[in-house]
Structure 1
Amino acid sequence: MTEKNAIIILSGGMDSVTLLHDYKEHIALAVTFDYGSNHNKRETDFAAYHCKLLGIEHIVIPLEFMGKYFKSSLLEGADAIPEGHYEDENMKSTVVPFRNGIMLAIACGLAESRGLKSVFIANHAGNHAIYPDCRATFIASMSESMSYGTYDHIGINAPYTSLTKTQIAAIGKQLGIDYATTYSCYKGGEKHCGKCGTCVERKEALREAGIDDPTEYEK
């Protein structure tokens, strides 16, 4: 029997939900961080849904200080979110400075407190262009720092680092994940806007993975 000795940072979006299902046999605890983004509430609901589905403990940790003090269009309301592809220069405004670093540090402390050995995170190749804390070099160095800074030498598991979102969606297809029960839109509306960077990437990934898109988009 596989030992459940890991924690996962779970947003409720396509990538982390796929990772949750893909490595469920290893995951003892899922943590969602509420840092004040437009889409936190919608994502958190789906994160809780999938944890309940799989029988995995789920906790939500508030990080109000990020929404209060950090600068990012992701924290400034739906109207501040630019539209377009992730490759567009204007999408850099959606970066929340050092978000993954902060979340990994907290998850690391939580892991050692719970006697767990590693932290799963669902960063992927599509993020790397504009998000420095999603890149392989950052993940490797952060994992090394976490190991040095803990008695139990907590490390990071980031198996999707070199994969595209399309490849992640293909894994989800094999696992039978219903992507209608995930949320991506940076504007945080009842329906996906279909125009922001993450909506555009979501559409592309599902289409290229041969999945009929179940997402409700605004007309």
Structure 2
Amino acid sequence: MPAPNTPESNAAVVIYSGGMDSFTVLHRALREGRRVHALSFDYGQRHARELETARRVCQALDIPHQVVDIRAIHGLIDNSALTDASRSVPEGDYAEDNLAATAVPNRNMILLSLAIAKAVNIGADRVDYGAHGGEHVLYPDCRPEFVEAMRHAAGLANLAPVEVHAPYLDRTKSDILADGLAMGLDYAETWTCYAGSELACGQCASCRERLEAFAANGARDPLAYASAPGHS
């Protein structure tokens, strides 16, 4: 690894959760010829299986991958069904009520801040993340205004500029999947479900949105589901 503040040519830090959006973003950066450093975060999420998925993918691609343990802040962000195991993960399509239940307080600002620090540390000029303009645009930290504000803050906070890059900001989940399928990506190497069980539940908003994206693309989801409408 280069010494701190030593530029690494054409490097990008990709926030990689192990889900289908960040999986596509990761491969898109690689296709652009970027020297990718994948960065995952353990913040006490109940769907931590995504981290193991991310590890396997990065090992197969032979790219640097760092899992950052930030579980020490769990008590600051546990007011969410994704971080509080005592709460049920809401089922059904994305709507205002289950959006609120699955929003992790300030998550993307926290993760982007750490990823920007990593980029500055290794001399990378870009941080990529998978915000998109799908039906759950109500998540404030996936809105264009938030991304632009983080770009501005990254420029103010550091001596070297770091671009916050969200390539699918104006695209839907179906668009992301279409792009990945065109790249020949295998989405069996992703994990989307919020429930954190052995099989994807098929009923949480994240599973349902994923299944709808596959249906919109006339493709079959390679993941196994415990229960999935229209999927057998």
User: TM bucket by the smaller chain?
Assistant: over 0.9
Q: Which residue of 2 aligns with 1:22?
A: 28
TM-score, length-normalised on structure 1?
Answer: 0.94
Superposition deviation, residue 26 in structure 1: 1.2
Superposition deviation, residue 50 in structure 1: 1.8
- 101, 112, 119: which is aligned to 1:111? 119
Please list the CA deviations of residues 57-99 of structure 1 after superposition, one character each: whole Å capped at 9, or x if unmatched. 0000011134222211111127521101112523311000110
**Structure 1 stretch displaced more, 73-82 or 132-141:** 73-82
Q: Which residue of 1 aligns with 2:65?
A: 58
Please tell me whether Structure 1 or Structure 2 has the larger radius of gyration of its CA atoms. Answer: 2
Q: Which residue of 1 aligns with 2:47?
A: 39
TM-score, length-normalised on structure 2?
Answer: 0.89
Higher helix share: 1
Q: Give the aligned CA root-mean-square deviation in angstroms.
A: 1.5
Equivalent pairs, count? 216
Give the ranges of 4+ consecutive aligned residues of structure 1 lying more than 6 Å apart after TM superposition: none
Superposition deviation, residue 215 in structure 1: 1.4
Unaligned runs of 5+ in 1: none
Q: Which residue of 2 aligns with 1:49?
A: 56
Q: Which residue of 2 aligns with 1:77?
A: 85
Please list the CA deviations of residues 173-208 of structure 1 after superposition, one character each: whole Å capped at 9, or x if unmatched. 011111111000101111000000100000001111
The question of 1:133 aligning with 2:141 is answered yes
Q: Percent identity?
A: 38
Given the superposition, is the C-alpha separation of residues 39 and 78 from structure 1 closer, same or farther in structure 2, using an over 3 Å criterion? farther
Superposition deviation, residue 39 in structure 1: 0.7
- 7, 13, 32: which is aligned to 1:7? 13
Q: Which residue of 2 aligns with 1:170?
A: 178
Please list the CA deviations of residues 105-134 of structure 1 after superposition, one character each: whole Å capped at 9, or x if unmatched. 011111111111110001101265331011
Match of 2:82, SS?
helix
Superposition deviation, residue 46 in structure 1: 1.4
1:194 and 1:218 in contact (8 A); partners too: yes
Q: Distance in 2 between matches of 1:97 and 1:69?
A: 8
Q: Which residue of 2 aligns with 1:214?
A: 222
Q: Distance in 2 between matches of 1:127 and 1:150?
A: 34
Superposition deviation, residue 172 in structure 1: 0.9
The question of 1:95 aligning with 2:97 is answered no
1:77 and 1:187 in contact (8 A); partners too: no
The question of 1:204 aligning with 2:207 is answered no
Given the superposition, is the C-alpha separation of residues 78 and 13 from structure 1 closer, same or farther in structure 2, using an over 3 Å criterion? farther
Q: Which residue of 2 aligns with 1:148?
A: 156
Q: Which residue of 2 aligns with 1:123?
A: 131
Q: Distance in 1 between matches of 2:144 and 2:136?
A: 8
Match of 2:38, SS?
strand
Given the superposition, is the C-alpha separation of residues 105 and 163 from structure 1 closer, same or farther in structure 2, using an over 3 Å criterion? same
Given the superposition, is the C-alpha separation of residues 88 and 149 from structure 1 closer, same or farther in structure 2, using an over 3 Å criterion? closer
**Structure 1 stretch displaced more, 139-148 or 80-89:** 80-89
Unaligned runs of 5+ in 2: 1-8, 228-232
1:72 and 1:93 in contact (8 A); partners too: yes
Please list the CA deviations of residues 22-60 of structure 1 after superposition, one character each: whole Å capped at 9, or x if unmatched. 1112143010011111112x1111111221222210000
